[in-house]
Structure 1
Amino acid sequence: MPRKARVKSKTGIYHIMWRGANRQEIFHDDDDWVKFLDILQKYKVKCELTVYAWCLMNNHVHLLIKEGNEDMSITLKRIGVSYVGYYNWKYRTTGHLFQDRFKSECVENNKYLLTVVRYIHQNPVKAGMVSKADEWRWSSCCGYYGKSSYPKNMLDSEYILRIFSADTAIALVGFKEFNERKNNDNCLDESVYKKRISDEEARVEIKKMLGEIEIAQVKSLPKVKRNEILRKVKEIDGLSLRQAARIFGVSLGLMFKA
């Protein structure tokens, strides 16, 4: 059965949600987040995109973008191919990283545009990663609050802020109040929040799973048995691959491939 064609936005503005295949992590350290943002910045310029908001989580990405000089699907394919090439080189792996097809929705009016910006910025708050939206380094929130954000010239905030006021100072106050307001926003009709557990909590869950086997023994087990255990551990809700690798004393690549 052929895929349903994407609905074209009359404004050219789309909310994009792109996640790892099988919800796997796609960012493991600061270099990964920086690399993705550098790639996005490159294609912002090359494809003449307008970037209203973004938020990079561990296993998914939210973008609020206005289409540039080519179809949005083509631009996102360029971004994805570039990041996957970097990822496979760095972690010495192959295969799919992103889910086959990104999710998208058209943003056709200013009211929903603001809702999506807030939804994107509050992702890490609702996931329990931070207590305030501007504490998460890997979103556009700080840029809207007049603070430095990375990359320096990526955010196109003027249009959003002018919805609140033509006076920049007044607009910043109004935007911040709106951005931090409690809400039940659920854009794209899908909740992808995943609260992280601490290393201590992770060890408790791992020990329950291992039974009589000690955590320190796992890396020395025969390959088949070790990988069987690691695959089960990866199913623990809220446990990141980097945490698991650190706890077991194995490489991130080994966790990924198990």
Structure 2
Amino acid sequence: MPRKKSNWYPGAEYYVTSTGIRKAPLFYDGEDRHVYLEIIGKARAEHRFDLYAYCLMTNQTHLHIKTHQLDILQIINKIDQRYSLFFNRKYQFMSTVYQSHSEANRVDSSNHQLDVNKYIHLTPCRTDLVGTPKEYQWSSYRSYVAFHKQPNVNPHPILSHFSYPQNINYQKFVEKKPNVSITGKELADVVE
């Protein structure tokens, strides 16, 4: 799913991943994940960006972000730094929390946007944590298919690609053919 890194510009979208050092856990419990989401909320309030999708795995984060006023790397560095401070304080660690700098790969088309979003939401299924993405508590998927409002997530630009009922058609897109990419294909071919 990752694409070639590219220069930032206002309005650019990115697929961002961050991994724990030596693939160690970034999250040990629900509180850790809640704090991470609160940090994203504070960063959004300060730097205005859209979070289209997220998935918080034990040792990795997956984010789909549209920037507005600030370079993606500055946004992610701020989130990672704040979370590192919380994590090291809580667990009394004095080390680097992340493997390396987060990877930010530009999302360069509508089809790529949909593929990234689908990829993020299917991450827990690919790792056999759950049978369907709706079962995984720590992703934005339920805000797409069950209208489970999450204050930091903006599903509307993605859902706007689908005919009504948007949530049902999005769910078909994600779950009906999970291994099919639509890059270069029409969305209607995949949803049918």
* Alignment TM class, shorter chain as reference: 0.7 to 0.9
Q: How far apart, in 2, do the equivalents of 1:157 and 1:175 lie?
A: 11
CA deviation vs aligned residue, 1:3-47 (integer Å, no higher than 9, x gap): xx9412565000001101111111000000111011011111211
> Structure 1 stretches of 5 or more lacking a match?
187-258
1:32 and 2:32 are equivalent in the alignment: yes
After superposing the two structures, state which structure 1 stretch, 175-184 or 88-97, moved more. Answer: 175-184
- What do residues 76-118 of structure 1 show as CA deviations (whole Å, max 9, x unaligned)? 1111111010011100111100122111211111111111111
Give the unaligned 5+ runs of structure 2. Answer: 182-192
Q: Could you say what the CA RMSD is over the residues aligned between the two structures, in angstroms? A: 1.8
Indicate how the Cα distance of structure 1 residues 6 and 40 shifts in structure 2: closer, same or farther if over 3 A, else same. Answer: same
- Residues 192-233 of structure 1 show CA distances to partners (whole Å, capped at 9, x for unaligned) of xxxxxxxxxxxxxxxxxxxxxxxxxxxxxxxxxxxxxxxxxx
In 2, the alpha carbon distance for the partners of 1:67 and 1:85 equals 24
Higher relative contact order (CA closer than 8 Å, sequence separation 6+): 2
Moved over 6 A (4+): none
Equivalent position to 1:157, from 155, 158, 165: 155
Amino acid at match of 1:7: S
Partner Cα distance (1:21, 1:86) in 2: 16
Q: Deviations over 1:119-162 (max 9, x none)?
A: 1001001111111101111000000013425xx31111111111
Contact 1:20–1:60 (8 Å) recurs in 2: yes
Q: Map 1:237-248 to 2 at 5 A.
A: none
**Aligned equivalents of 1:80 and 1:109: distance in 2?**
27
Contact 2:8 2:72 in 1 (8 A): no
For 1:53 and 1:140, locate their aligned partners in 2 and report how far apart those are by CA, in whole Å: 6
Q: Is the aligned partner of 1:180 residue 2:178?
A: no
Equivalent residue for 2:85?
85
- Percent of aligned positions that are identical: 26
Question: Which residue identity is paired with 1:153?
Answer: P
Contact 1:19/1:59 (CA < 8 Å) preserved in 2? yes
Which one has the bigger strand percentage?
Answer: 2
Equivalent pairs counted in the alignment come to 177
The alignment partner of 2:77 has SS state of: helix
For 2:144, the aligned partner's letter is Y
In 2, the alpha carbon distance for the partners of 1:100 and 1:71 equals 18
Match of 2:68 in 1: 68
Q: Is the 8 A contact 1:49 1:65 kept in 2?
A: yes
The 5 A counterparts of 1:86-235 are 86-148=86-148, 152-165=150-163, 167=164, 170-184=165-179
Aligned to 2:57: 57
Q: Which amino acid aligns with 2:159?
A: L
1:45 corresponds to 2:45: yes
Return the TM-score normalized by structure 1. 0.65
Q: Deviation at 1:184?
A: 3.3
Change (3 A) 1:24 1:160: same
1:23 maps to 23
Contact 2:56 2:62 in 1 (8 A): yes
Quote the offset at 1:68 in angstroms: 2.6
Distance 2:69 2:56 in 1: 24
What amino acid maps onto 1:8 in structure 2?
Answer: N
